[in-house]
Amino acid sequence: MPDSNPDSRYIAAHVVSQVLGGASLDQLWPEAGLQLDEKNRALAQELIYGTLRWQPRLEWWTRQLLHHPGKVNPTIRALLWVGVYQILFMRIPSHAAVHETVAVCGRIRQGNKAKGLVNAVLRQSLRGEKELRRKMSACTQAYYAFPGWWIDLCRRDWPDEWKAILSYSNQRPPMFLRLNALYRTDPDIPERLQQQGISAWPMPDMNQAWLLGRGVPVESLPDFQQGSCSIQDGGAQWAATFLAVEPGMRVLDACCAPGGKTGHILERCHGACDLWALDVNQDRLKRVHENLARLKLHARVCHGDLLKPELWWDGTGFDRILLDAPCSGSGVVRRHPDIKILRREQDISVFSLRQKRLIENAWKLLKPGGKLVYSTCSIFRQEGEGVVRDWLGAQTDAVISMPPCMPWMHPADPGVYLLPGKLGMDGFYYAVIDKMD
């Protein structure tokens, strides 16, 4: 981003336009945020995440006001969305939102020619907001702010819950902590948070999960750098719980990066297991090393592919395997709103085929009498129970062994779903499978 004096709206427009080009927000935002001071970084983050979260609605909105929407420069188009987002969703005074957004045009290549266009669209948005909102209610994609194929799939899979799922998936995600069971302080972490004016509530049926009343910088968390706690959604914390690792076991975390579940597994067994943390992405393994170092825990961190075990496996079976399979991310889209732009309908079948290959390979590495937990952060049935059910049909040594389903979980055939918004958590699918002796 070549600019000697970047500001939040300029950064936001460029990041959003790069996502339009296929780049990942997880890769873009950390570097982009370094260019801004604390105040402007917070504004830029709100503009980027909010614009991407509501992109289907913002795209529909601006198309109503453009004569030739297809001819608009991608960065200017992203800037229009950023501008309309401020008008529709933020408390920024309208004159400031328009003036500051138009001013960004002068800093975009060939953007001076678009100043009049941006000014006109934003001012028409202000004048015609009531009528545009009325028209928007008749467009499903604009109203729910999701691609049409996503809405159709969600409605098919969840005929009674789809509206709530889409609504929760557009909300800002809450912040969850996972208290480190191996870390001891006096007073405890929740009490110390309360002393800082940060409310925290324990999650039902979970020993380590706490929901914060508001998001805070990690520097505000007591002894975070010393390993007192981790930031991890409550729904994700069920993976280690279902895995039920005991001291002395040999364990494989098959798609481990960035290492949140790896740390949780080790915390629950007091670090007394032989844990292999495997991931195919070498760069993402850096995060695994960092998380383990902060928690003062050890695992065998391996760069390798579960589909090619001959390149990394020593031939000895595992007592427990966690397969947190790559998926569409449909259950965590509120934390990763760029998924709305990056995912395509055909991706779901591609993920499903790969997931079936992964579970087949993982099963070969599991000892008789062992346990495999298959999970995805997706609420699409084709990536969850569809994968497990199809795979089970060809197995003679596999038995589903799910613990009792909690009232806020949704039973599946087989496994369980956690739907977005239940107790504030993200969406997940889990299946627990025992290998017969």
List, for residues 227-258, the tens digit of each pLDDT value: 999 999 999 999 999 999 999 999 999 999 99
Is residue 184 located within the same domain as residue 250?
no
* Residue 5 predicted with pLDDT over 60: no
Residue 160 domain flag: no
Is residue 87 located within the same domain as residue 205?
no
The range of the structural domain enclosing residue 91 comes to: 8-142
pLDDT band at 68 (very low <50, low <70, confident <90, very high): confident
pLDDT band at 6 (very low <50, low <70, confident <90, very high): low
Is residue 97 located within the same domain as residue 215?
no
Is residue 217 located within the same domain as residue 69?
no
Is residue 48 located within the same domain as residue 120?
yes
Q: Under a CB-based contact definition with an 8 Å cutoff, are residues 114 and 105 in contact?
A: yes
Is residue 268 located within the same domain as residue 338?
yes
Is residue 405 located within the same domain as residue 273?
yes
Position 3 scores a pLDDT of 46
pLDDT per residue as tens digits for the range 338-377 = 999 999 999 999 999 999 999 999 999 999 999 999 999 9
Number of domains forming the structure of the chain: 3
Sheet holding 209-212, edge to edge: 200-202, 209-212, 176-179, 229-231
pLDDT per residue as tens digits for the range 415-428 = 999 999 999 999 99
* Residue 23 predicted with pLDDT over 70: yes
* Residue 134 predicted with pLDDT over 80: yes
**Whole-model pTM?**
0.95
* Summary mean pLDDT of the chain: 95
Scan for tokens 């260019």, then name that residue.
Answer: 35
DSSP state of 173: P
Position 110 scores a pLDDT of 75
Position 174 scores a pLDDT of 96
* Residue 207 predicted with pLDDT over 90: no
Q: Under a CB-based contact definition with an 8 Å cutoff, are residues 230 and 260 in contact?
A: yes
Residue 244 identity: A
Catalytic residue among 255, 302, 377, 405: 377
Position 1 scores a pLDDT of 40
Residue 81 domain flag: yes
Residue 107 domain flag: yes
Is residue 74 located within the same domain as residue 220?
no
Where are any strands of DSSP class E within 255-338? 274-279, 300-303, 318-324
Among candidate residues 187, 209, 231, the one where a domain is terminated: 231
pLDDT band at 4 (very low <50, low <70, confident <90, very high): very low
Is residue 363 located within the same domain as residue 215?
no
Asked about 105 being catalytic, the answer comes back as no
Residue 163 domain flag: no
Q: How far apart are CA 93 and CA 228, in angstroms?
A: 41
Burial, 247: exposed, middle or buried (Cβ in 10 Å; 0-12, 13-18, 19+)? exposed
Among candidate residues 231, 250, 265, the one where a domain is terminated: 231
Is residue 219 located within the same domain as residue 267?
no
Is residue 182 located within the same domain as residue 331?
no
Residue 383's alpha-carbon distances to 88, 291, 322, 412, in angstroms, are 35, 28, 16, 12
CATH number at residue 224: 3.30.70.1170
